Amino acid sequence: MAKLTRSKLEEYGKKAPAKAGRALVRVGMSTCGIAAGAEEVYEALKGAVAQRNLDVDVRKCGCNGKCYAEPLVEVVSGGLPAVLYGKVDKRLALDIIDKHVINGELLNDHIYGIDEGKGE
Amino acid sequence: MKLILLKDTDGKKEEAVFQEKILAEMKKENVQGKWQVVRVADMGIYNKGVAVKILPEGFTYTGLSLDDIPALVRTSIKEGRELGEKSYGLKDKQVKIVLRNCGRIDPENIESYLESGGYQGLKKVLLELKPEQAIEELKESGLRGRGGGGFPVWMKWQFARKPESAEKFIICNGDEGDPGAYMDRSVLEGDPHSVLEGMLTAGYLVGANKGYFYIRAEYPLAITRVQNAVEQARAYGLLGENILGSGFSFEVDIRLGAGAFVCGEETALIASVEGKRGYPSPRPPYPSVKGLWGKPTVINNVETLANIPVVFSRGGKWFSSIGSPTAKGTKVFALTGKIKNSGLVEVPMGITLREIIYDIGGGMLNSYDIKAVQTGGPSGGVISREYLDTPVDYENLQKLGSIMGSGGMIVIDESDCMVDLAKFYMNFCVDESCGKCAPCRIGTTQMLEYLDSVSKGKAREDDLPRLKKVAMAVKKASLCGLGQTSPNPVLSTLRYFEEEYLEHIREGKCRAGKCKDLLQYSILQDQCRKCGLCYRNCPVNAITGNNKQGYIIEREKCIKCGNCFDVCKFEAISRG
Ligand SMILES: Cc1cc2nc3c(=O)[nH]c(=O)nc-3n(C[C@H](O)[C@H](O)[C@H](O)COP(=O)(O)O)c2cc1C
Ligand code: SF4
Ligand code: SF4
Ligand code: FES
């Protein structure tokens, strides 16, 4: 890896945060998320994405704070605000991919937060 | 795309009916365009009836009845205008500075941190500001330590900056020994680079070239992620020689703590890093003058350091615009206990306890009323419910007999016993006292003995003044913060809940039903319907009888687990 220089760091600073196109799926994988079963959910999401041949960034993230609703999965896709799903299990993970990521259809009864600003 | 979100915030599950009604009205009004009506599980609004939020406009309504729906659909969904009277004005009360990246970026990938503004603050300090300007910026920010003491960060750095010394050190305190607290773990796990950036900034400004992460060994994931962050930073040239061409060099190492509470205390922690036994030593000299290996050392908490990049990237002035007059910025709390939404919350300083508990935490977990809030763990105290409207900052909590502490916040309800709570913390302090000084070693044990006899109904009324006297002595005479603060749980429970202590002593009664020695389970025969539920639920078969003759509890066998009390549907079990 090349060392970071001042100008390169400046570029990072200027980069527009909006990265259009590619869907992003964040999985909360800190100690408490993992204890609640986030690893299994992460694998299920990864598996579903691979199986369906989708271009989706499934990302391991840290604690979002809503520990009472873990495992947590946040979806940013299709121009929609960031949607945080809670108490996700393997089955719900598949629904998240098939309904939300592919069809832009939000799932009833599992959303614990919607963030318009943090679409990235 | 328009989103229409729906939640019954009273938990009565009315969403489906409203969803149908909204859909029907939309059809009737012939609403065009793309939209979805979605039932959500949590809208961040609690106990305000049925709530609807419309995005992207952000219109939020609460306390809705089905009759409100036609107007709502017509005005807000079809015509895109806000509907006055049911509008809900409150915004999300959390402010994320420390947790800005937690849950958003990939903590194992430095690119992810860089893409969200990482290392910009460091760049500014290394390449754009003079060190004096940077310290001035820090001063303007008003940032104070988040590890418990609340010492101004700029001052600590200034103290360590002054002396000439070939070697100086930066230590990140990630010991986090307060039971129930896990803010620092989450930051280390979710955003390790922000802490590293804070350390680098400190290193440059005080003239240190070496830093240590001190992390407790019970946090393996945090350790792995910090290790990984350090390696990546090194590969990117953010650690090592001549960082970003500034001429500044810095290296870090990780030291593991074995999980002793006292090792979170700075002088004991330094001894532990030196490879010695984790004993505290008297201050002064303070570590900023004479710390690790006798050299000037800045020791800061994880959360403190995670604030640093933001102070510099957004400016001290911006930072100080958040918070209360004496405390700037935010505080992360691990909100636990009898609260619906337990988890991490980050709130601006000066917010009230009530707002934290009801507007963010979603209110009480069970049907019991709130009794108190515990902050600061074994070094802190309880604050009774009359003071829920106090703005949270260092000074206010101290005035109430507690402390801000590192961020543990436990909500206590009527089913909790205050004597039992004080005993829990005292037990912890007895276990964790390092034994170096007598007031703490002997005093905590004595306090525990008094508390134990109160909880068994064996204490006398004049034991309470004695307990207070021992508490004051321990507070005054102990060597380190562990001993000095260990009486806080006792003193604060005595301050607000002395009548509970007296009840235990005079009446042999524990109103919360927590002090087992005072409980005596029996079946009230005239209430009993002979259903046999208690009989089937007793784990030790202490209940005998049958559904004809009725049931009795055999005292000698009863282990006072309370199962029978909980299962009986007819309030036929007494535990008085
Ligand atoms: C018994 C005891 C335990 C402590 N535990 C911690 C801890 O786990 N983490 C922490 O940051 N500070 C802890 N402290 C406070 C540290 O001594 C020190 O004040 C702090 O790390 C300074 O950092 P700050 O100025 O950034 O708050 C503890 C203090 C005492 C007396
Ligand atoms: S559960 Fe209550 S009502 Fe039923 S047998 Fe026991 S005491 Fe009687
Ligand atoms: S308290 Fe427990 S042990 Fe005692 S009678 Fe009830 S269920 Fe049995
Ligand atoms: S550690 Fe997972 S949300 Fe808290």
Q: What is the pLDDT of residues A84-98, one digit of tens each?
A: 999 999 999 999 999
Task: Choose one of B301, B406, B431 to mutate for the ligand 1 pocket test, by most ligand atoms within 8 angstroms of C-beta.
Answer: B301
Task: Choose one of B525, B531, B535, B553 to mutate for the ligand 2 pocket test, by most ligand atoms within 8 angstroms of C-beta.
Answer: B531
pLDDT score, position B1: 85
Strands B35-39 and B2-8: parallel
A67 CB near ligand 4 (under 6 Å)? yes
Using a CB-CB cut-off of 8 Å, the residues of chain B touching A12 are 114-115, 117-120
Residue of A nearest to B220 (CA): A31
Residue among A12, A65, A108 whose CB faces B103 most closely: A65
Instruction: Please state the three-class secondary structure of B335-357 as a single string.
Output: EEECECCCEEEEEECCCEHHHHH
Check CB contact of B532 with chain A, cutoff 8 Å.
Answer: no
- Closest CA relative to residue B356, chosen from B381, B387, B378, B327: B387
B300 CB near ligand 1 (under 6 Å)? yes
Residue of B nearest to A30 (CA): B189
Q: Calculate how far, in angstroms, residue B69's C-alpha sits from the geometric centre of ligand 1.
A: 54
Q: Which parts of chain B have pLDDT scores under 70?
A: none
pLDDT score, position B127: 96
pLDDT score, position B308: 98
Q: How far apart are CA B163 and CA B557, in angstroms?
A: 69
Check CB contact of B469 with chain A, cutoff 8 Å.
Answer: no
In which region does residue B37 sit, left (phi positive, over 0), alpha (psi from -120 to 50) or beta (all else)? beta
pLDDT score, position A119: 43
How distant, in Å, are the alpha carbons of B218, B293, B424 from that of B263? 14, 16, 20
Q: Calculate how far, in angstroms, residue B533's C-alpha sits from the geometric centre of ligand 2.
A: 6
Is the confidence at residue A118, as pLDDT, over 50? no
pLDDT score, position B237: 96
pLDDT score, position A79: 85
**Structural contact between residues B169 and B210, judged by C-beta atoms closer than 8 angstroms:** yes
Residue of A nearest to B105 (CA): A61
B344 CB near ligand 4 (under 6 Å)? yes
Answer yes or no: do A111 and B42 touch at CB < 8 A: yes
Looking at the DSSP bridge assignments, the partners of residue A57 are A24
Answer yes or no: do B107 and A109 touch at CB < 8 A: no
pLDDT score, position B137: 97
ipTM of the complex: 0.88
Answer yes or no: do B105 and A62 touch at CB < 8 A: yes
**Structural contact between residues B367 and A90, judged by C-beta atoms closer than 8 angstroms:** no
pLDDT score, position B411: 97
Model confidence at A71, in pLDDT bands (50, 70, 90)? very high
